[in-house]
């Protein structure tokens, strides 16, 4: 989301010092200080150097301070235009450098970028607070807000005014001076701690390697997985060995196929103990401190808990409603998972073993049963999901739904050789935006998959500003013998992130802070998750899924096996996710210092819901980046909330056709284009005609 900043005298000294230290730039002019001359004004990655960031941050804050001061000193009565809009469009340089910097620290970081991030974090925190806690600025906003019903504002203007006023109140504008000083210190410390959490997690992930020297220990693994491990070993300077890491494309196949149970256990325990080694990258103390500070900040602002503070702006509105949803789903998911565990235990017994099913066994025996019961082999299916074909598939779906066209642009600068850039156009050839895609794991990239913007869509002075969107993933890399072949889950993930990208690309809003994905956290996953529905449809799979060697489509029998297996292991999948959602909510509904260690709190949380010992919560506290270093604190439930929405929404297409033009146009106009300009339930009901229920989701999961 767009952020606002202001510079103080202390920061001015920092700027002066920075200028004194910087050499005079002649040939290497700081590109942030000029208009980009690249096609579509995408960031000139080939020109941006690390030493450009801090001067641009500081100058950006300085310039925004001047713009904010102009608003404050304006002698005319406060109005929507001279106060709210002026504030909304302030700080373009700061936004420009922030968009590039924070994307790079996630997708292509370095020790130097992480050092800059640590240095700038408290400065930026202070800068945001200097805006939110400025009494003269808030006075002007309050005057406009009190007149809101008599100003003749349109819907988007009204929402912008509502958000600005509430953001200031939630940002501490109504606190007394002493409380505001404490509020500043809390925010500053939180900005540093959340950054450190993510840095520690990246180091922990990169530090672990399971090195296998004996080929016999590779028994059960598909040839492609063995080859990828060999390539990883060679890259690490370990010829004639095999290396497995904690990245999903390496870890999950090993857990699913490796016959060596001891090695499965070693890899699994390494994963679930990230950030939990009582060393320099341990995250337990950071988690505890973050929770304490969030509680204190919520109390300062008059909220019972951090969750109450966060959820006020979401569709759920209050913790009680989140727990009600989780409890309803848990009542169906937990018995289903227990039954699945019993089935796996029987499978172990039938092969002549007497050990108890453990979490590191679940993927392995699930894969065996799925293959036996449904004649369904994930590795066989992977052969039909060559990355380039899946990309073509999501492009074809977007074309059939919305008429969009995608053209790769080799002439656009890129931040890493792995990245690809595409121009997105309407069916008539008019420009929509630019889409970057970056697929493979590397040490400079954080774990997981995400979408973000290098530039938001908006309009200024009537002129359209087109979006620059990025999708970043950690998919299986090509090997010496074969191209990048995606698992079924990875294929679905690409559809998911592409749905986020469409939300950003098709936005049609005036104000940047309301455009695209700038919506409540429990609504933002609807556009992404509904796209996953197309990924499972045989009609869609037949459009793009071809065997990478023979170019043959997926055989009918394999499609039927896939369809029959869609309910398989859904208890595990939902329980694993719901457990993490409960953990998030339990941390953030605390109303006082928990006074307990992190692991004990986590154990108690899982015991309270009755999580069976054969399953571990999807994210344990020490590597729960979504909530301790991302934007999902008290919001991880959003994925399942959005699954309720997307399951219900996709019924509209099932009732017509997968690519029904009228339904697609309605979804585009009422959801994708609207951003955060209206209440999300209003938007949803305008598309669907009613509020959603949970029955379509439970039916899709095979629990009805």
pLDDT band at 6 (very low <50, low <70, confident <90, very high): very low
Distance CA(256)–CA(601), nearest Å, equals 30
pLDDT band at 523 (very low <50, low <70, confident <90, very high): very high
Cβ atoms within 10 A of the Cβ of 105, count? 21
User: Which residues participate in catalysis according to the annotation?
Assistant: 497
pLDDT at position 703 is 74
pLDDT at position 594 is 65
Evaluate whether residue 195 is within a structural domain: no
pLDDT at position 16 is 40
Do residues 64 and 120 both lie within one domain?
A: yes
CATH number for position 31: 1.10.1370.40
Is the pLDDT confidence value at 13 over 50? no
Do residues 164 and 234 both lie within one domain?
A: no
Pairing of strands 463-465, 431-438: unpaired
Is the pLDDT confidence value at 693 over 80? yes
pLDDT at position 697 is 86
Do residues 66 and 127 both lie within one domain?
A: yes
Is the pLDDT confidence value at 142 over 90? yes
pLDDT at position 481 is 84
C-alpha pair distances (Å), 196 with each of 43, 199, 396: 27, 5, 41
pLDDT tens for each residue of 293-344: 999 999 999 999 999 999 999 999 999 999 999 999 999 999 999 999 999 9
pLDDT tens for each residue of 97-112: 999 999 999 999 999 9
Do residues 28 and 158 both lie within one domain?
A: yes
Evaluate whether residue 334 is within a structural domain: no
Do residues 45 and 155 both lie within one domain?
A: yes
Nearest of 638, 581, 576 to residue 612 by alpha carbon = 576
Mean pLDDT calculated for residue range 42-50: 97
Mean pLDDT calculated for residue range 587-605: 90
Nearest of 584, 447, 504 to residue 2 by alpha carbon = 504
Distance CA(528)–CA(499), nearest Å, equals 4
Angle between helix 223-235 and helix 248-257 axes, rounded to 10 deg:
140
Structure tokens at 6: 């202001």
Distance CA(640)–CA(234), nearest Å, equals 40
Evaluate whether residue 667 is within a structural domain: no
Distance CA(451)–CA(437), nearest Å, equals 9
Evaluate whether residue 331 is within a structural domain: no
CB 647 within 8 A of CB 534: no
Question: Which residues, 6 or more positions from 595, have their beta carbon under 8 angstroms from its beta carbon?
Answer: none
Give the sign of the dihedral formed by CA 70, CA 72, CA 74, CA 75: negative
Question: Which residues, 6 or more positions from 368, have their beta carbon under 8 angstroms from its beta carbon?
Answer: 347
Distance CA(412)–CA(450), nearest Å, equals 21
CATH number for position 393: 3.40.390.10
Distance CA(259)–CA(79), nearest Å, equals 69
Do residues 48 and 148 both lie within one domain?
A: yes
Q: What percent of the chain has pLDDT over 90?
A: 89
Which structural domain, as residue segments, surrounds residue 466? 387-524
Write the secondary structure of 136-195 as one string of H (helix), E (strand) and C (coil).
Answer: HHHHHHHHHHHCHHHCCCCHHHHHHHHHHHHHHHHCCCCCCHHHHHHHHHHHHHHHHHHH
Mean pLDDT calculated for residue range 267-281: 97
Q: Chain-wide mean pLDDT for the chain?
A: 93
452 membership: H or E segment, kind and range = strand 450-455
CB 509 within 8 A of CB 674: yes
Last-in-domain residue among 132, 155, 174? 174
Give the distance, in angstroms, between the CA of residue 525 and the centroid of all CA atoms in the same chain: 9
């Amino acid at each position: 989301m767009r952020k606002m900043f202001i510079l103080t005298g202390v920061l001015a000294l920092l700027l002066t010092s920075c200028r004194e230290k910087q050499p005079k730039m002649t040939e290497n002019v700081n590109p942030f200080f000029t208009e980009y001359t690249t096609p579509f004004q995408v960031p000139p990655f080939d020109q941006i150097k690390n030493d450009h960031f801090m001067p641009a941050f500081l100058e950006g804050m300085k310039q925004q301070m001047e713009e904010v001061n102009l608003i404050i000193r304006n002698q005319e009565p406060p109005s929507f235009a001279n106060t709210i809009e002026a504030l909304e469009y302030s700080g373009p340089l700061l936004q420009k450098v922030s968009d590039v910097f924070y994307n790079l620290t996630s997708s292509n970081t370095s020790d130097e970028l992480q050092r800059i991030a640590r240095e700038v974090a408290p400065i930026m925190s202070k800068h945001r607070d200097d805006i939110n806690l400025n009494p003269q600025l808030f006075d002007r906003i309050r005057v406009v807000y009190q007149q809101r019903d008599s100003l003749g504002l349109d819907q988007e203007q009204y929402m912008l005014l509502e958000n600005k006023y509430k953001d200031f109140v939630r940002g501490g504008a109504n606190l007394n001076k002493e409380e505001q000083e404490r509020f500043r210190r809390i925010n500053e410390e939180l900005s540093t701690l959340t950054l450190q959490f993510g840095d520690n997690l990246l180091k922990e992930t990169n530090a672990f390697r399971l090195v296998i020297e004996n080929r016999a220990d590779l028994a059960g693994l598909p040839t492609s997985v063995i080859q990828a491990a060999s390539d990883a070993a060679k890259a690490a300077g370990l010829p004639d060995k095999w290396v497995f890491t904690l990245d999903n494309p390496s870890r999950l196949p090993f857990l699913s196929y490796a016959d060596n149970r001891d090695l499965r256990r070693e890899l699994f325990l390494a994963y679930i103990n990230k950030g939990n080694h009582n060393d320099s990258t341990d995250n337990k103390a950071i988690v505890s401190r973050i929770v304490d500070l969030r509680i204190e900040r919520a109390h300062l602002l008059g909220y019972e808990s951090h969750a109450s503070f966060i959820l006020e702006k979401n569709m759920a509105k209050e913790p009680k409603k989140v727990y009600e949803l989780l409890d309803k789903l848990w009542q169906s998911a937990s018995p289903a998972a227990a039954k699945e565990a019993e089935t796996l235990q029987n499978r172990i017994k039938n092969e002549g073993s007497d050990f108890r099913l453990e979490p590191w066994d679940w993927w392995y025996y699930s894969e065996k049963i799925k293959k036996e019961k449904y004649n369904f082999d994930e590795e066989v299916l992977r052969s039909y999901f060559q990355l380039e074909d899946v990309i073509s598939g999501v492009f074809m779906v977007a074309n059939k739904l919305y008429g969009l066209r995608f053209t790769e642009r080799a002439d656009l600068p890129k931040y890493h050789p792995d990245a690809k850039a595409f121009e997105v156009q309407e069916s008539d050839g008019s420009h929509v935006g630019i889409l970057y895609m970056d697929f493979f794991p590397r040490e400079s990239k954080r774990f997981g998959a995400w979408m973000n913007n290098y530039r938001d869509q908006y309009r200024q002075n009537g002129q359209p500003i087109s979006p620059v969107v990025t999708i970043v993933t950690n998919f299986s890399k090509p090997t010496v013998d074969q191209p990048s072949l995606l698992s079924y889950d990875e294929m679905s993930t690409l559809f998911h992130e592409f749905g986020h990208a469409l939300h950003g690309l098709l936005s049609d809003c005036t104000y940047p802070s309301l455009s695209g994905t700038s919506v409540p956290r429990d609504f933002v996953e609807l556009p992404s998750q509904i796209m996953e529905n197309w990924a499972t449809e045989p009609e869609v799979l037949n459009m793009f899924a071809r065997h990478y060697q023979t170019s043959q489509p997926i055989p009918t029998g394999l499609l039927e096996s896939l369809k029959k297996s869609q309910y398989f292991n859904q208890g595990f999948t939902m329980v694993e996710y719901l457990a993490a959602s409960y953990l998030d909510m339990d941390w953030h509904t605390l109303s006082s210092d928990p006074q307990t260690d992190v692991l004990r709190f986590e154990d108690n949380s899982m015991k309270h819901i009755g999580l069976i010992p054969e399953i571990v919560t999807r994210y344990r506290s020490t590597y729960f980046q979504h909530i301790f270093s991302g934007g999902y604190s008290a919001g991880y439930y959003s994925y399942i909330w959005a699954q309720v929405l997307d399951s219900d929404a996709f019924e509209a297409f099932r009732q017509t056709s997968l690519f029904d033009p009228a339904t697609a146009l309605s979804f585009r106009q009422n959801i994708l284009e609207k951003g955060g300009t209206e209440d999300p339930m209003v938007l949803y009901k305008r598309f669907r005609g009613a509020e959603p229920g949970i029955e379509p989701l439970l039916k899709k999961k095979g629990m009805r």
